[in-house]
Amino acid sequence: MSQGNKIPATVITGFLGAGKTSTIRHLLETSQGKRLALVINEFGDLGVDGEIVKGCGIENCEEDAVLELPNGCICCTVADDFIPTIETLLNRAEPPDHIIIETSGLALPKPLVKAFNWPEIRTKVTVDGVITVIDGPAVAEGLFASNPAAVEAQRQADESLDHESPLEELFEEQINCADMVVINKTDLLSDADLARVLRDVKAELRPQVKVVRSSYGKVDAKILLGLEAAAESDLEARPSHHDDGHEHDHDDFMSFAVDLGEVETPQGLVERLQPVIAQHGILRIKGFAKVAGKDMRLVLQGVGGRLQHYYDRDWHPDETQSTRLVVIGEAGMDSDAITTALESGRAASQGAPAQAVAAPAS
């Protein structure tokens, strides 16, 4: 099978909460009838991102075209999970026109791209492009700056930055492997901050890599698909901290699930979450909520103190209607204390005003 006959696959990577799922939703909405297959890979005890995509109500978003890898990181489970999943898609009576792969926010993209050279799939599928989605406001705040001077400035103000941040390294891995970078949430940036983010990101990219801007992940399929990068044949041009053979270690992070039952209001839930997130340094919190008196499921996603929520669909008859959240943070966070704080905040959170953004989650 020639290169032109291979099924294209697009890898969508990006740090926690950057907007990968929102980007995929918009891809589905603008795919103009293409048969898209989705491989969703998420770090956590609940398959939250896969469920969000399945529940989006988009006409060409068929549930049997969404496959989920529950082991947290594609780059560490290539042989056991990823290759068989791709083979399943390729062996269908009607193979997809394009495969979309969403990696975990903790995944190294380069090992995944390298996997497309495995004998089982290399003659049938090619990496059309690696799309890295960036949280524009987070970069503007210097959270993942690769500039040593910026890191030093942060260290002066925050003792937690006294060591090399694994999050910064992951950020570098994702932009170094990219064929296109999407700077998301630009609606939250001033003109000056956006100009600075564009300058800083472009300074780290390979010359041929393009940068586009978006809000709520709204970049059309005609822009993100059809890059024809054949990334699996271009590995040497994609530098990695792990090219020397060191294994990617996920022990820097942990996650756990918590069930909070029914909540009175979305605003009350947000008010309960915000102080716990601040006190325990939670990186990401996301999941579904059962709101009293509402037949629809509430989706909630947060990065740091920024929380967003929206109703996505009615609860299915066979689903347990409850509030189930995944909490993701650095290793050593006190899951018992966090769970206790969230549970004890039920009464205090009822009806309290909130500052969350009731908009499609990024």
Give pLDDT, residue 190. 94
- DSSP output for 16-37: TTSSHHHHHHHHHHTSTT--EE
> How much is the pLDDT for 182?
96
302 vs 76, higher pLDDT: 302
Residue range 65-92: mean pLDDT, rounded: 64
Reported confidence tier of residue 362, pLDDT bands at 50, 70, 90: very low
pLDDT for position 359: 38
Residue 11, pLDDT > 70, answer yes
* Helix runs in 55-190, H state only: 83-90, 109-115, 136-140, 148-157, 166-176
Share of the chain above pLDDT 70, in %: 71
Structure confidence at residue 33 as a pLDDT band (50, 70, 90) = confident
Strand partners, 300: 287, 309
Comparing 16 with 260, the larger pLDDT belongs to 260
Average per-residue pLDDT for the chain:
77
Residue 28 confidence class, pLDDT cut points 50, 70, 90: confident
DSSP 8-state class, residue 336: H
Q: Residue 82 gets which letter from DSSP?
A: I
At residue 42 the predicted structure's pLDDT band, cuts being 50, 70 and 90, is: low
Instruction: Report residue 272 CA to chain centroid gap.
Output: 24
pLDDT confidence tier of residue 65, bands split at 50, 70 and 90? low
Banded model confidence at residue 31, pLDDT cuts 50, 70, 90: confident
Angstrom CA distances, 25 to 202, 264, 345, stand at 26, 28, 33
Q: What is the pLDDT of residue 17?
A: 75
* Range 100-120 average pLDDT: 83
Place of tokens 């309290």: 352
The residues that bridge with 205 in the sheet, in sequence order, are: none
Task: State how far the Cα of 150 lies from the Cα of 304, in Å rounded to an integer.
Answer: 20
Question: Over 70: is that where the pLDDT of 252 sits?
Answer: no
User: Tens digit of pLDDT for each residue in 194-237?
Assistant: 999 999 899 889 888 999 999 999 999 999 999 999 999 988 88
Select the more confidently predicted residue: 140 or 347.
140
What pLDDT, in 10s, does the model give residues 257-299? 899 999 999 999 999 999 998 888 887 788 899 999 999 999 8
Q: What pLDDT, on a 0 to 100 scale, did the predictor assign at position 358?
A: 38
Give the pLDDT confidence of 316-339 residue by residue, as tens digits: 898 889 999 988 777 788 999 999
Chain mean position to CA 305: 17
Q: What is the 3-state secondary structure (H, E, C) of 73-108?
A: CHHHCHHHHHHHHHHHHHCCCCCCCEEEEECCCCCC
What's the pLDDT tens digit per position in 132-190?
A: 999 998 888 876 533 334 334 433 444 433 334 456 777 888 899 999 999 999 999 99
Residues 6+ apart with CB under 8 A from 241: 169, 172, 173
In the DSSP assignment, the letter for residue 315 is P
CA distance 197 to 176: 16
Both tokens assigned to 157:
């103000």
Do residues 62 and 28 lie in contact, with contact meaning Cβ atoms separated by under 8 Å? no
Higher-confidence residue: 306 or 38? 38
